[in-house]
Structures are given as C-alpha cells and as structure tokens.
Amino acid sequence: MTLLDITELKTYYRADDGWVRATDDVSLSIDRGETVGLVGESGSGKTTLAKSIIRLLPDNAEVVDGSIDFDGTEVTELSNRELRKQIRWSEISMIPQNAMNGFDPVYTVGEQIVEVITYHEDTSKAEARERARTLFDDLGVDPDRVDDYPHQFSGGMAQRAMIALALALSPSLVLADEPTTALDVVIQDRILETIKELQEELNSAMIMITHDMSVVSETCDRIAVVYGGRIVEIADAETIIMNPRHPYTLGLRNAFPDISDDDQELISIPGTPPDLVDPDDGCRFAPRCPFAEEECWEVTPEPESYGDGHAVECHRADEIEHLQEEAGKKETWVEQDLGRSEEIEPSPPEEVELDD
C-alpha cells in the first residue's frame, strides 16, 4: 500500500546567478515498510529531495511545483505548525548527515528526545525519558548517557542518539541521509544493521540516501539513481545492480567494488556533475556520457518503462546489450572530449517563470 507519493516535484534554490534546480521533476512512490535507496554523486539533489518531504529546507529554497502526498495528506499544503504537529518526527523523521549538528548543544541529548516525545504524545517526562533510555540500550549506547550533552558524544554515538530520536515516535517513514558516512567502516556496518532491525520491527518505510552503491544494494528493496536533480533510473535493487540500462548507473556500478569479484578493476566516471543553475534542455548526463548522440543533447529524456517498476530516462536505454558490454570496458570511460560537435547551435535556455 502506497505511503508516500511524490509527483513531479521541483525544489529550487535561489542563487546569485539564477535558480539551482536541485530537484527537478521528480516522481517517486514508496509503500509501507519499503526501503528505497537514493544513490548518486554529491550534489545530485538527494538531500534536497529528502528535506523537501519533511520541510527542513533552508530559507533560499522553494518547492516551486509538484505534490507530496503522505498517507492521503498533501504535505505541501500544510502550514508549518500543522507539519510540525502532524508529520515531522511523529510520522516522518530524518537522520541527518551529521548528527552532531542535529542536536542543540545547550540541552542534554535525553532532554531533547523527551521534548520531541512529549510534544507529540500525551506522555509524562518520566515515561519519555524511560523510552529514550530503552532506545539507547537497543542501539548499544549506555542508557545513562541520555544525561550527557552532545559535545560529550563521539561521532558514532551521536549518530546512534540521532537514530534513537528518529525512531522514538515509531514514524511510518524514516529519511536516512548518509547515516554512516562520517563513521569508520566497522561502526558503519553495525549501525546500518541496527537501523534495519529497528525499522523492520516498527514496519517503517525508509529512504536511504547514499553515494555508495554497496550500501544500497545491501539494505534496499528498490533503488532510485539520481543525477542532476532527476531520477534517471529506478527499479528493484537486483535489477539496478545486475541489469541497469542507464549509462550513469552502469558507470556508478563500475566505480564500486563487487565483493564477489576479486579481479574487478574499478573504473570511475570522468568529468564533473552538471551545473544545476538553469540547465539547458537535453539529457543532463550527456556531457559525461560515452554513448551520447545528437538527440541526447537536444531533448530531455522522459522516463520509459521497462516492466516491473523499472523506469529509465535515457534515449538509448533500448540498446541494453551494447551499453552493458561497452560500459564494462575501461577505454569507454577514458576522459575524452565528449562535448557536443561544434556545428550544432545550442538551444536557448528555457524561460522559467517563478515568483520572487
């Protein structure tokens, strides 16, 4: 059953040189209890999408179009007060990239968790505190540490405390934004396992944001590959790992170690992510894509369905065998002048009408 249904969402940032189209026409729906990974390079718009859902965007951001339907409620139409009371933390919570910044330094971590619980539930402070202690225990943190201030926590412990806060009200959806990147590898695995266990216990859905293909492949039911503010490919995790169609997904897959293949040579995608300030028409991956043709520079690809919830935004996605074979070769990805041939005039940038 669908829990979250995002349709054609556009979230832009005001910048000195124009609008940064960080989330640009994104549609995504998530079922109850499901885990969906958002994978893509830094700056592709993953965090912006998550923050749009829970409305934790900075002041210069604006949801300019689209819909976020959460369990029958149109989130974009709620007032800030309604959103705080009805949705944030109680129904949708977020584990941010850097947990330390998520806590207020002047209160103990326990006080902050108690505050969130008692704001949403008719519970005594003593009961809320007990729940915080139990969650700490579940997450492998000494329950007495609820009386410590954030600066007394190590990075790993602060991350666990943030997970405790995010799960304290048994939300239906958890947004986990790179929940383990700041931590060392051994702790990363343990924390991911704990998040998954608790999530399954609560039957919460989760959006797991990461740039690490191996993290999503281990933890997610479905994977959405994000590039330049758009979901360029989405499918169940196995299809994305074993049978992707988008050249960017193929490139990402090459760049991550496969534990079952000792001889694998890692190949990175040359070039840099696109500038999202008023981008031109055409596929945003074209300047880095070894398979780009004229159409790719001219026409923005629409999502095409390849069955079983597999959708791909690529003009050449039909040529799966050719793409998969060529993408596995290092020479395909050697930095070369992938730029568009000079005879073609670039089309003028699309006018966007936005209120100031």
Residues that bind ligand ATP (CB under 6 A): 13, 15, 20, 22, 40, 42-48, 58, 60, 211, 276
Q: Whole-number minimum distance, CB 17 to ligand ATP, in Å?
A: 10
Q: Whole-number minimum distance, CB 15 to ligand ATP, in Å?
A: 5
**Do 102 and 154 contact (CB within 8 A), yes or no?**
no
Q: Closer to ligand ATP at the Cβ: 45 or 102?
A: 45
Q: Whole-number minimum distance, CB 277 to ligand ATP, in Å?
A: 8
Q: Which residues make beta-bridge pairs with 132?
A: none
Q: Closer to ligand ATP at the Cβ: 58 or 72?
A: 58
Q: Closer to ligand ATP at the Cβ: 202 or 255?
A: 255
Nearest to 349 by CA among 285, 288, 282: 282
Q: Closer to ligand ATP at the Cβ: 40 or 156?
A: 40
Q: Closer to ligand ATP at the Cβ: 43 or 171?
A: 43
Q: Closer to ligand ATP at the Cβ: 13 or 285?
A: 13
Q: Closer to ligand ATP at the Cβ: 279 or 282?
A: 279
Q: Whole-number minimum distance, CB 42 to ligand ATP, in Å?
A: 3
Q: Whole-number minimum distance, CB 155 to ligand ATP, in Å?
A: 17
Q: Around Cβ 226, how many Cβ atoms within 10 Å?
A: 26
Q: Whole-number minimum distance, CB 207 to ligand ATP, in Å?
A: 12
Q: Closer to ligand ATP at the Cβ: 15 or 334?
A: 15
Q: Which residues make beta-bridge pairs with 39?
A: 210, 225
Q: Whole-number minimum distance, CB 40 to ligand ATP, in Å?
A: 6
Q: Whole-number minimum distance, CB 290 to ligand ATP, in Å?
A: 23
